[in-house]
Amino acid sequence: MKTAAAVLTETQTYIPSPTVSAFDLGPVTIHFYALSILAGIVVAAYLTERRFVARGAERGTAFDIVVWAVPFGVVGGRIYHVITDPQLYFAPGRNPWDALKIWEGGLGIWGAVALGALGAWIGCRRHNVSFLAFADSAAPGVLFAQALGRWGNWFNNELYGESTTVPWKLEIHEMSAGRAVLDAAGNPVVLGYFHPTFLYESLWALAAGLILLLVDRKRNIGAGGISALYIVLYTAGRFFIELMRSDTANLILGLRVNTWVSGLLFVIALLVFIQRKNYGRSRAHPNEGQIEPADGSPAESR
């Protein structure tokens, strides 16, 4: 028997969600969440390579640095997620080993950015290139990677907002072991129809990435400024999207942890962006033929 929500929306438009989140390839299970993350990494690496070469880096250097940044970022993203939502893994009745199952969803962007930046810094040191130039080169691609990665949440039937009747509402199924739970008639059980916050964030990240590309092309932004602007733009959207989400999360003074983090990082990144405007444009090798800014400020700091 269909739920009341399903009957109500039979003649209305909505965004359907997949009823499976993985498929078997021989003895290996391939998760669409992982494929979405992988697709984002490929796009980000390709764009970063092109932009880093334009900043004076040798071809292939960005790919070598990405090899350091990605594993650090994945580990950092998972650690952040587990720390901010520990009840999902360590509450009574939960299995702590599930904290290791990254393919089931759950990567915190700020943990990924923090440790990913550490990995990138190590890679930059090994190649003797500017970390700020790499970060500025990577920023738009990272946003495109986030836009693609959010579609993994669509396959997992997660990351949705409040119940709604808007024409673009998202159908959410009850999922278990990577598949939709079936009712007595063999139909997927529909939990309801909600705001597709995963889609809102994906579109916002895509738009922010395009803005970064345009600003970096049209304006002479100081070293580290494009990286700071990435945080400014992303957190501006993420702040409001967090207010729309309805999934369980830890709260501080009535607001989700990620809402507070987004607001704090927005302020810090905006101040950094303003401060960096007097520096020279980032270059992979800032001490090779870099012209000092007219105001006497450093050309770039690593």
**Three-class secondary structure assignment of 21-61:** CEEEECCEEEEHHHHHHHHHHHHHHHHHHHHHHHCCCCCCH
Strand pairing report for 179-180 and 22-25: unpaired
* This prediction's pTM: 0.86
Q: What is the pLDDT of residue 217?
A: 93
Q: pLDDT tens for residues 169-193?
A: 999 999 988 899 999 999 999 999 9
Do residues 110 and 261 touch, judged by C-beta distance below 8 A?
A: yes
Q: pLDDT tens for residues 268-282?
A: 999 999 998 778 889
Query: Of 94, 50, 45, whose CA–CA distance to 67 is shortest?
Result: 45
Q: What is the pLDDT of residue 291?
A: 41
Dig out the tokens for 168 from the structure: 């673009």
SS3 at position 252 = strand
Mean pLDDT of the chain: 88
Percentage of the chain beyond pLDDT 90 is 65
Measured distance CA(62)–CA(166) in Å, rounded: 43
Percentage of the chain beyond pLDDT 70 is 90
The secondary structure element, H or E, covering residue 256 is strand 255-256
Mean pLDDT throughout 10-27?
Answer: 87
Q: What is the pLDDT of residue 289?
A: 52
Measured distance CA(302)–CA(296) in Å, rounded: 17
In the predicted model, is pLDDT for residue 105 greater than 70? no
Q: What is the pLDDT of residue 178?
A: 84
Q: What is the pLDDT of residue 297?
A: 46
State the residue for tokens 């980000």.
Answer: 44
Residues 6+ away with beta carbon under 8 Å from 180: 19, 20, 157, 173, 174, 188, 189
Query: Of 244, 48, 31, whose CA–CA distance to 142 is shortest?
Result: 48
Q: pLDDT tens for residues 25-53?
A: 888 888 999 999 999 999 999 999 999 99
Quick one: pLDDT band at residue 9, thresholds 50, 70, 90? very low
3-state secondary structure 157-203: CCCCECECCCCCCEEEECEECCEECECCCCCECEEEEECCHHHHHHH
Quick one: pLDDT band at residue 294, thresholds 50, 70, 90? very low
Q: What is the pLDDT of residue 223?
A: 92
Q: What is the pLDDT of residue 173?
A: 96
Mean pLDDT throughout 151-179?
Answer: 93
Do residues 144 and 40 touch, judged by C-beta distance below 8 A?
A: yes
Quick one: pLDDT band at residue 62, thresholds 50, 70, 90? very high
Q: Residue 288 gets which letter from DSSP? A: S
Mean pLDDT throughout 250-256?
Answer: 77
SS3 at position 14 = coil
Strand pairing report for 28-31 and 22-25: antiparallel
